[in-house]
Structure 1
Amino acid sequence: MKQLTLVEQITTQLEKSIVEGVYRSGDRLPPERVLAETLEVSRPSLRNALKALAAKGILRSRQGGGHYVTDLLTRSMADPLLEMLGQHPDAREDVLEFRSLLEGACAYYAALRATDADRSNLEKTFSALEDSMIDADQEKESQADLAFHIAIAEASHNLVLLHTMRGMFSLIRNNIHTNIDDLYHNDVTGVCLYKQHQQILDAILTRDPEKARAAAEKHIMFVQETFKDIELNQLRSERAKRRMKEWQW
């Protein structure tokens, strides 16, 4: 087996940190001095490793502004089509079906694998979601909702699931924001949504993977069924209005 040079070892270690989600797309790496001390390597060796990562398109450097992780890992999922799908009403059902599969799997593995640090992060993000619901701040709630689900993906310790969630960030964010807005406009209280998220969290914290997956899927199913009811009520309302017009003749 080929013996890796020091620069190759540093490059591999940094790549691992990026793949594992320690450094995310858009994140700025620590200053070279701090990074070199953390990795216990010389700054010249570190600089060569950073140049190698930049050549691969994994990092981009700014003159005097540090080194940043590019969107290389998520670029293929940041297609304009996904942006349109996230905003197109006719695609909402498809996005919800996708979320059910993805988030159900994330919750399942999070219940199996969450560390103490993961569990603490989940409780923190859930608390932020709870605060946003109390404040009835829909923008804040949609952001907190997404952060909670990203935290679940992180706790799954499945790199493909994690990067899929992060890669589909804009699509899922738009879906959550639109859903919350429409639900509140149709008098669906946050109490139901709060309880559903609480059930997901409790199942993960009690390490019950099947219950966690079921709770995540049940949450999406509730949103799906609610929108079907809303659409049916809208159709009935429009039908009644048309009848009223006919009677006026």
Structure 2
Amino acid sequence: MQLQPIKPARVSDSIVEQLKAQIIKGVLKPGDKLPAERELVDQLKVSRPSVREALLKLEAQGLIYSRQGEGTFVLDALGAAITNPLANLLKDNPEALSDVMECRHGLEELAASYAANRASALDQAVIRERFEALRAAHEQRDLELEAQADAAFHMAVADASHNVALIHLTQSLFDLLGDVVLHNWEKIYTMEESYQAIHDQHREIYEAICAGDASQARHAAHEHLAYIGKCLRGAAS
């Protein structure tokens, strides 16, 4: 039996593993800015060259990117891998949009269920904050702002699921369907009765998550998405 000498791990490799774990767990999300080099040096108790070497390795792996004068950010590598093929699919086969929307609906039901079981007090506070921001956006009668606030609310629910794959998938679909979401709002939210119903549905999702009721949270998400579909079909007829 021949054994190989054990080599001590490089400090930069240990830094890479720590930061990569934060990205995989969803603590560092796509678009998040990493702490400055000096802060990383202070937190990790390592040298600046080791931090720089680790960041270069993460960048080479396609997990982060740098913007001159702004800092270093988490890259949504999974999102790009998902959205690029889907974008081509929709371009060549527009009727596939309903399949993509159906997939998004399924993800949101699952996210609401997981969030009810896993949301921390901070997660619940963020969902509440996004819910209130959505209501404020409607009062301003700014459809684009409302569409953004709606997406932010549902992303907060996805984040509270603490399932990194689900978070990335949901974000990717929102990025892909940005214009579609806005178009849907233009169809639905011009009708006050529809807005009130949707607002109540968002509140039911939020309250079920805060109550830790996974079954009710999933049901509330299903009812919300089914209503959206019904409204869109009515607007198209």
TM-score normalized with structure 1 length: 0.83
The code of the aligned residue for 1:196 comes to Q
Secondary structure of the structure 1 residue equivalent to 2:158: helix
Query: Could you say which residue in structure 1 is the equivalent of 2:202?
Result: 197
Q: 1:127 to 1:157 in 2, by over 3 A?
A: same
The amino acid that maps onto 1:184 is Y
Worse-superposed segment, 138-147 or 52-61: 52-61
Residues 135 and 189 of structure 1: is their aligned pair in 2 closer, same or farther, counting only changes over 3 Å?
farther
Per-residue Cα deviation, 1:200-244 (whole angstroms, up to 9, x for no partner) = 001001010010001111111001112222333xxxxxxxxxxxx
Contact 1:111–1:209 (CA<8 Å) still a contact in 2?
yes
Cα distance, 1:187 vs structure 2? 6.1
Segments of 5+ residues of structure 1 without an aligned counterpart are 233-249
Work out which of the residue numbers 148, 153, 156 in structure 2 matches 1:148. 153
Instruction: Give 3-state SS (helix, strand or coil) of 1:36's partner.
Output: helix
- Residue in structure 2 matching 1:72, options 64, 70, 77: 77
> Given the superposition, is the C-alpha separation of residues 30 and 108 from structure 1 closer, same or farther in structure 2, using an over 3 Å criterion?
same
AA partner of residue 227 (structure 1): L
Residue deviations 1:71-116, cap 9 Å, x none? 3232112216437749x97455333321221000000000000001
What is residue 62 of structure 2 aligned with on the other side? 57
**Residue in structure 2 matching 1:99, options 89, 104, 114:** 104
Q: TM-score, normalised by structure 2?
A: 0.86
1:211 matched to which residue of 2? Answer: 216
Q: CA deviation at 1:66?
A: 3.2
Q: 1:3 to 1:150 in 2, by over 3 A?
A: farther
How far apart, in 2, do the equivalents of 1:92 and 1:61 lie?
Answer: 34
After the TM superposition, which of the residue ranges 179-188 and 33-42 deviates more from structure 2?
A: 179-188
How far apart in 2 are the matches of 1:202 and 1:83?
A: 38
Structure 2 residue aligned with 1:117: 122
Q: Is the 8 A contact 1:106 1:161 kept in 2?
A: yes
Paired residue secondary structure (1:75): helix
Task: Kindly state the Cα deviation for residue 179 of structure 1 after the two structures are TM-superposed.
Answer: 1.2
Aligned residues: 231
Q: Once superposed, what is the RMSD of the aligned Cα atoms?
A: 2.5
Give the structure 2 partner of residue 166 of structure 1.
171
Q: Is the 8 A contact 1:138 1:181 kept in 2?
A: yes
Identity of aligned residues (%): 38
- Structure 1 runs (4+) deviating above 4 angstroms are 62-65, 88-92, 185-188
For the 8 Å contact 2:104–2:170, the answer to whether it is kept is no
Distance 2:84 2:193 in 1: 32
2:27 paired with 1:22: yes
Q: Which stretches in structure 2 are left out of the alignment for 5+ residues?
A: 1-5
CA contact (8 A) 2:143 2:186 kept: yes
In structure 2, give the amino acid aligned to 1:17. Answer: Q
Q: Which residue of 2 aligns with 1:45?
A: 50
By how many angstroms is 1:127 displaced? 0.9
Contact 1:99 1:220 in 2 (8 A): no
Check whether the contact 1:200–1:216 (CA below 8 A) recurs between aligned residues. yes
